[in-house]
């Protein structure tokens, strides 16, 4: 099974739900969480990724719906006009990517990404970053005058956070890898 690497990275790294699917209701985000607290959220948005390859830069984007509860998540990704639906699920023990070309399974989200694309990414840290909190292993974290996380580094990945006015939750993540991978994620929380 051959997948387009930027789209798969976008799908696995942030995931999204198809427009026709709904996620189970989840509890609102807890604003005071740290990496060892319970994570619960339901978000939508868009993810874009740019990667360096032997053939130059590749880019791709997708719309997503993401439901998270603790370490379990359901992500549905779709392209423009609902094309290219992909589902990514993780039940705490097994990660599964399903699309019209078939299914791939792995023991972790990172292993799934490696299997599908050959890449490594801090997928397990994204839920923490999505809610504006540090993830386990983050270093060099910076905060603004309101105490909100504005930048955090994990190994070779650096995440920058943008917030609307006084919101405690970020509306945009920009994540850079030292090898040139670049992920931009817009985040929309339900009212």
Q: pLDDT tens digits, residue range 144-190?
A: 999 999 999 998 999 999 999 989 999 999 999 998 889 999 999 98
Q: Is residue 4 part of a domain?
A: no
| C-alpha to C-alpha distance for 149 and 86, rounded to whole angstroms | 31
- pLDDT tens for 113-141 read 778 876 667 788 999 999 999 999 999 99
121 in a domain, yes or no? yes
Domain membership of residue 149 (yes or no) is yes
Kindly state whether residue 19 falls inside one of the protein's structural domains: no
pLDDT surpasses 50 at 39: yes
Helix, strand or coil, per DSSP, at residue 130: helix
How many helices and strands (H and E) does the chain possess? 3, 11
Answer yes or no: is 180 within a domain. yes
CATH number of the domain that 106 lies in? 2.50.20.10
**Which pTM was predicted?**
0.78
Q: Is residue 92 part of a domain?
A: yes
Instruction: Please determine, for residue 28, whether its predicted confidence score (pLDDT) is greater than 50.
Output: no
**How many CB atoms are located within 10 Å of the residue 108 CB?**
16
How far CA 143 is from CA of 42, 96, 147, 158, in Å, comes to: 24, 35, 5, 14
| Number of compact structural domains in the chain | 1
State both tokens at 70.
């603790």
Q: Is residue 132 exposed (0-12), middle (13-18) or buried (19+ Cβ within 10 Å)?
A: buried
Do residues 73 and 61 make contact, with C-beta atoms less than 8 angstroms apart? Answer: no
81: containing domain? 41-188
């Amino acid at each position: 099974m051959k997948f387009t690497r930027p789209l798969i990275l976008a799908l696995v790294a942030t995931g999204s739900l198809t427009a026709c699917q709904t996620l189970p209701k989840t509890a609102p985000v807890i604003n005071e969480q740290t990496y060892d607290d319970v994570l619960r959220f339901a978000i939508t948005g868009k993810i874009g990724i740019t990667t360096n390859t032997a053939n130059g830069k590749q880019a791709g984007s997708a719309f997503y719906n993401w439901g998270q509860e603790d370490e379990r998540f359901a992500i549905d990704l779709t392209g423009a006009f609902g094309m290219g639906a992909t589902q990514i699920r993780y039940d705490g023990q097994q990660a599964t990517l399903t699309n019209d070309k078939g299914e791939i399974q792995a023991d972790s989200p990172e292993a799934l990404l490696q299997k599908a694309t050959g890449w490594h990414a801090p997928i397990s840290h994204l839920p923490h970053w999505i809610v504006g909190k540090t993830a386990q292993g983050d270093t060099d974290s910076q905060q603004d005058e309101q105490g909100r996380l504005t930048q955090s580094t994990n190994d070779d990945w650096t995440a920058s956070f943008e917030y609307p006015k006084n919101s405690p939750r970020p509306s945009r993540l920009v994540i850079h890898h030292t090898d040139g991978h670049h992920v931009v994620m817009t985040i929309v929380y339900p009212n």
